[in-house]
Amino acid sequence: MAGSPSSSVQKARKDLADRLGEIRRDAGLSGRDLAAAMGCYPSKISRLQNATTPPSADDIRAWCEACGATDQTSDLIQSLHAVEGMFIEWRRMERAGLRRAQEARLPLYARTRHFRAYSSWLVPGLIQTRAYTTATLREIQRRRGLPDDVDEAVEARVERQQLLYEPNRTFAFVVEESVLRSGPGDAEVMVGQLGHLIAVGSLPNVSVGVVPMRAGRSRWAAEGFWIYDSAQVNVELVSGYLTITQASEVAMYADTFAQFVDLALYGADARVLMAEVLRSLG
């Protein structure tokens, strides 16, 4: 977690450290007094309170006991676990293979009714063709040296796509034009994927927007992200997978998504652009 590129993770760590500092001050203890009570060096108290070093669950228990605040122990440990779960490196998420990584997202997808996704890298998984998914996951498996369970992972993702056809769910996708012009697989794979985008965009509960390549944009491309209802955002970084649940930050991503929606082409205009890309692919 240390050195994570996410300001969200750093802020969550700092919030937890600030709470520990408040408990110490409320108890009327100096950092040196608390260190003596916990049986550690004062420098450790300083590192924990300044979020330089993340606390362990045992650190929190000892801190609260020394400060006479054992009633806050459980809540603080829950906050610690939440911080630890915010950023997950790809190697941790995928160490058991790609299939498990795909299946791990099923509960979140099952309880979500309104999906919003922006991508500047790849077509979002829910609207990928089988061939596009296979090419994508095969490349990830090779590049990261993962166990070869690509066929099983593809099946898990394709099965998840059935959500598109369930009632009472809505889906909004926005991709950069570059996603249509460059991707995994050969020209045949990309042609099939573009045809699928046109087809899936005609579903009554699905919108597919394309942000055209042009100069003078008011909002530049960003990392890909998913918004699940208004409860959670997942961001796909080069180094890992970031989960955001803080309401103010979820709202920032929702606002950013709305800006991309304003830039995107839809309906007939999007189909014209896709047809142009199809012609360029032959």
CATH hierarchy code of domain 88-280: 3.30.870.10
The pLDDT of residue 236 is 83
CA angle 254, 255, 258 (to 5 degrees): 90
Choice between 275 and 100, residue whose per-residue pLDDT is larger:
275
Q: Where are the domains of the chain?
A: 7-85, 88-280
Could you tell me which residues come within 8 angstroms of residue 136 by beta carbon, excluding any fewer than 6 positions away? 122, 128, 183, 184
Residue 260: its H or E element: helix 247-263
The pLDDT of residue 93 is 63
The pLDDT of residue 92 is 65
Model confidence over 173-225: pLDDT tens digits?
Answer: 999 999 999 999 899 999 999 999 999 999 999 999 999 999 888 888 888 99
Whether 7-85 and 88-280 share one fold: the answer is no
Res. 263: pLDDT tops 90: yes
Residue 179: its H or E element: helix 177-181
Q: Could you tell me the two tokens for 29?
A: 């203890």
The pLDDT of residue 8 is 64
Any bridge partners for residue 244, and if so which? 233
The pLDDT of residue 239 is 64
Model confidence over 115-164: pLDDT tens digits?
Answer: 999 999 999 999 999 999 999 999 999 988 888 999 999 999 999 999 99
Most confident of 90-94, 154-158, 249-253: 154-158
- For the domain made up of 7-85, give the CATH fold: 434 Repressor (Amino-terminal Domain) (1.10.260)
Res. 4: pLDDT tops 50: no
Q: Whole-structure pTM over 0.95, yes or no?
A: no
